[in-house]
Amino acid sequence: MNSVIQKATRVIIKVGSSLVTNDGRGLDHAAIARWAAQIAGLRAMGKQVVLVSSGAIAEGMLRLGFEQRPTDIHELQACAAVGQMGLAQIYETSFRAHQLGTAQVLLTHADLADRERYLNARSTLTTLLRLGVVPIINENDTVVTDEIKFGDNDTLGALVANLIEADALIILTDQQGLYSADPRKDPAAVLIQHGRAGDPALEAMAGGAGSSLGRGGMLTKILAAKRAAKSGAHTVIAYGRENEVLARLASGEVIGTELAAQTGHLTARKQWMADHLHTAGQVVLDAGAVQKLTGDGKSLLPIGVVEVKGEFGRGAVITCVNAEGAAIARGLTNYTSAETRRIMRKPSSEIESILGFVEGKELIHRDNLVLL
C-alpha cells in the first residue's frame, strides 16, 4: 500500500510545539531548516504546501526570559506575540535558502466560522499558493484566549484543510504516530499504521499531551483527522524528526499512522452545501448561464443573472434557479445581494468600474458551487 501523500497535490503540514522547540529553549533552527528543505522538495514535485506551525509561545518565553510557561493568559498572549516574530524570521530565512517566499497568516477558529472571512481567507491562501509562496499559519493568539488555553494547532490544521480542500493533512509530532495507548505511560503500546478517520475506537486510544509544551495531545490529532476527512482530506500522523520524513511520504512510503478519509472532496462539498437547507437568497439565471453551470461545469458570472431575490451578504449560501424557478445549484456568493443587483447582466470586466473593487470575476466560483 502506498502512502496517501504520494497522490496528494495540496498538503497541509502541521508541526507541533513539542517538535519545533528545543526542549522549550526557543526554536530548533536546524530542524526547521530540514523541514524547509524537504518542503522545497515537495514543491519541486508539483505539490502545494501550507505549513501550520506552533512554537510562538515557546520562542516568546525564551525572548522574554520566562523559565516556566506563564499561567497568566495575557502573559501567554504576550509571549505568542513576541515569539511569532522569531517564528516568522526563521521560516523566512530557511525557505529563502531554497528560493521560496513565505507568508505569515494568523487565524482564529472564529475567522473560519464567519462566512465572509472564510471566503477571504480561502482566496488569500489559494492566491498565495498560485503565486508559489509557502503560507505559514499560526493561531492569532493576541485576539483570542480560548485557543491559548487549549493550545491546539491540530484543529487549526484541520480547519485549514477544510478551508482550501487539501488532499492531505500531515501532523508531525514527537511520537512515531498513534499508539494503542500513550507510549509514555504504557510500554506495551503498539503503533497503529492504518485507520479510518472518524473511527470512535481511535479516540479511546488517545490520551492527553505528553509534554508541558504541547497542549493538545493525541486526542486533538485524532479529532483533527475526523474534521479534515469531512472535506475529503486524509491524515498522516508521523514523527517529525524521522529522517527525510516528508520526502519519503511523498515518494509513497507509509510512515507513522495513516487515517483515511471515507469520502472524496466533491461528495464532502455536496454534503456541506446540502446541509444548508435555509439559503439566504436566490439568483435567477438566464438559459446561457444554466447551460454553463450544468453542461460545462463553469462558474457563475454576474452576466448570467437576471434577478436577485432576498438579501444576503458576501459568503452566504445562495440558490441558483432557472427561469421557471427550479433550483439547479447552490453556492457561496462573492458579492452581497445589493452588489449583485448592480453587476447582474454585466460583463465581469465592468465590475470594478461599477463597484470600485473586484472580489472575483465570478459571482459564485465553481469550487464553491454544487449542482443540485
Ligand X SMILES: Nc1ncnc2c1ncn2[C@@H]1O[C@H](COP(=O)(O)OP(=O)(O)O)[C@@H](O)[C@H]1O
Ligand Y SMILES: N[C@@H](CCC(=O)OP(=O)(O)O)C(=O)O
Binding residues for substrate: 54, 141, 153
Name the minimum Å distance from CB 209 to ligand Y: 7
Name the binder of 35 from ligand Y, ligand X, none, CB < 5-8 A by kind: none
Which residues of the shown chain bind ligand X in the complex (CB under 6 A)? 16-19, 154, 173-175, 178-179, 181-184, 205-207, 209-211, 214-218
Nearest to 310 by CA among 343, 348, 287, 341: 341
CB 261 within 8 A of CB 330: no
Annotated binding site for ATP: 14, 173-174
Q: How many CA atoms lie within 13 A of 168 on its CB side?
A: 25
139 binds ligand Y per the rule CB under 6 A: yes
Specify the 3-state DSSP secondary structure of 164. coil
Q: Which is nearer to ligand Y, 141 or 258 (CB)?
A: 141
Name the minimum Å distance from CB 237 to ligand X: 8
Residue spans of alpha helices (H) in the chain: 4-7, 17-20, 29-44, 56-64, 73-96, 109-113, 115-130, 146-150, 153-163, 200-205, 217-229, 245-250, 265-274, 287-294, 337-343, 351-355
Given candidates 141, 167, 339, 362, which one binds ligand Y under the rule CB under 6 A?
A: 141
Q: Write out the H or E segment, with its range, that includes residue 319.
A: strand 317-321
Tell me which stretch binds ligand Y (CB under 6 A): 196-204, 210-218, 253-261, 306-314: 210-218
Q: How many CB atoms lie within 10 A of CB 245?
A: 22
Q: Between 29-44 and 73-96, two packed helices, what is the crossing angle to 10 degrees?
A: 50
Q: How many chain residues are in contact with ligand Y, going by CB under 6 A? A: 18
- Residues 145-184 touching ligand Y, rule: CB under 6 A, are 151-154
Name the binder of 260 from ligand Y, ligand X, none, CB < 5-8 A by kind: none
Q: Is 177 left (phi over 0), alpha (psi -120 to 50) or beta?
A: left
Q: How many CA atoms lie within 13 A of 327 on its CB side?
A: 15
Q: Which is nearer to ligand X, 209 or 364 (CB)?
A: 209
Name the binder of 184 from ligand Y, ligand X, none, CB < 5-8 A by kind: ligand X
86 binds ligand Y per the rule CB under 6 A: no
Residue 35 phi/psi, 5-degree rounding, is -65, -40
Q: Which is nearer to ligand X, 202 or 318 (CB)?
A: 202
Name the binder of 218 from ligand X, ligand Y, none, CB < 5-8 A by kind: ligand X
Q: Which is nearer to ligand Y, 214 or 331 (CB)?
A: 214
| Contacting residues for 335 by C-beta, under 8 A, at least 6 apart | 302, 314, 343, 355, 359, 363
CA–CA separation, 149 vs 76, rounded Å? 9
Residue with the shortest CB distance to ligand X: 16
Q: Which is nearer to ligand X, 109 or 366 (CB)?
A: 109
Given candidates 4, 13, 51, 80, which one binds ligand Y under the rule CB under 6 A?
A: 80
Name the minimum Å distance from CB 66 to ligand X: 18
Nearest to 173 by CA among 25, 26, 30, 55: 55
CB 211 within 8 A of CB 53: no
Name the minimum Å distance from CB 160 to ligand Y: 13
Name the binder of 57 from ligand Y, ligand X, none, CB < 5-8 A by kind: ligand Y
Name the minimum Å distance from CB 88 to ligand Y: 11
- Residues 35-54 touching ligand Y, rule: CB under 6 A, are 54
Name the minimum Å distance from CB 270 to ligand X: 32
CA angle 288, 294, 295 (to 5 degrees): 80
| Contacting residues for 68 by C-beta, under 8 A, at least 6 apart | none
Q: Which is nearer to ligand X, 62 or 289 (CB)?
A: 62
CA–CA separation, 236 vs 47, rounded Å? 16
Q: Could you give the strand order of the β-sheet that contains 282-285, starting from the edge strand earlier in sequence?
A: 305-309, 282-285, 317-321, 327-332, 369-371
Given candidates 10, 12, 17, 122, which one binds ligand Y under the rule CB under 6 A?
A: 17
Q: Which is nearer to ligand X, 173 or 336 (CB)?
A: 173
Which residues here bind ligand Y, judged by CB under 6 A? Answer: 16-17, 54-58, 80, 138-139, 141, 151-154, 214-216
